[in-house]
Chains A and B, each alone.
Chain A
Amino acid sequence: DQQVKQNSPSLSVQEGRISILNCDYTNSMFDYFLWYKKYPAEGPTFLISISSIKDKNEDGRFTVFLNKSAKHLSLHIVPSQPGDSAVYFCAASGAFGQGAQKLVFGQGTRLTINP
């Protein structure tokens, strides 16, 4: 049961253009969403997040959009830079009645920025 899905395993974008990474979720109990970036041989690093009470959050070149009715979020990177080449994971969390705030991750999208 894949509650968070990233349907594009890979994405290739020209340097300087916009990169758009997509994520869909099925569980309406999710109320907080995060994007992580992962380089080979390193752990995921936090990039940007959004609460379900917002529909947009911006941090420098990175913007996350949330469409709750469609259960869809996207990450926009503009302008894309070669250092952005990595695997990007979408993650979701919510109050499931447990003490732990677990993250449910998508499968990841490998982004390649071409010079």
Chain B
Amino acid sequence: ETGVTQSPTHLIKTRGQQVTLRCSSQSGHNTVSWYQQALGQGPQFIFQYYREEENGRGNFPPRFSGLQFPNYSSELNVNALELDDSALYLCASSLDSRNYGYTFGSGTRLTVV
């Protein structure tokens, strides 16, 4: 087991720019979920990918998009960044889409200025 790793750990972007956050899931985990945690709040579900297809989405606009690759890595892309996108972005992997045994990464702290 290698755990879930996210990169980068910190990032500063300007409003209007685009950003890509990366996640390497735990080996064998074919499901990855992304969460946004704003300051002082709990994590909020963005979307989930299962076997490279999106199979669920939270209340986030289409400028939040993702990709999952066969090698258990995934990406979260955010276009047209807004100040309110500043948050900790967490990636979580699990064995399958109906398994609650999520392993979370340490997150990427995104600051939009």
Identify B98's interface contact among A4, A101, A105, CB under 8 A: A101
- Interface pair B40/A101, CB less than 8 Å apart: no
Q: Does more than half of chain A's interface fall in helix, strand or loop, or is it mixed?
A: loop
- Interface pair A105/B43, CB less than 8 Å apart: yes
Q: How many residues of B contact A (CB 8 A)?
A: 28
- Interface pair A4/B42, CB less than 8 Å apart: yes
Residues of chain A within 8 A (CB-CB) of B50 are 99-100
- Which stretch, B61-69, B73-81, B99-107, touches the partner chain A? B99-107
How near does chain A come to B8, taking the closest CB pair, in angstroms? Answer: 14
Ordered by A's residue number, 13 sampled pairs between the chains whose C-beta atoms are within 8 Å are A42-B106, A43-B90, A43-B104, A43-B105, A43-B107, A44-B90, A100-B45, A100-B47, A100-B50, A102-B56, A103-B102, A107-B40, A108-B42
A residues in contact (CB < 8 Å) with B: 4, 6, 9, 32, 34, 36, 41-46, 49, 89, 91, 93, 98-108
B residues in contact (CB < 8 Å) with A: 4, 33, 35, 40-45, 47-48, 50, 55-58, 90, 92, 97-102, 104-107
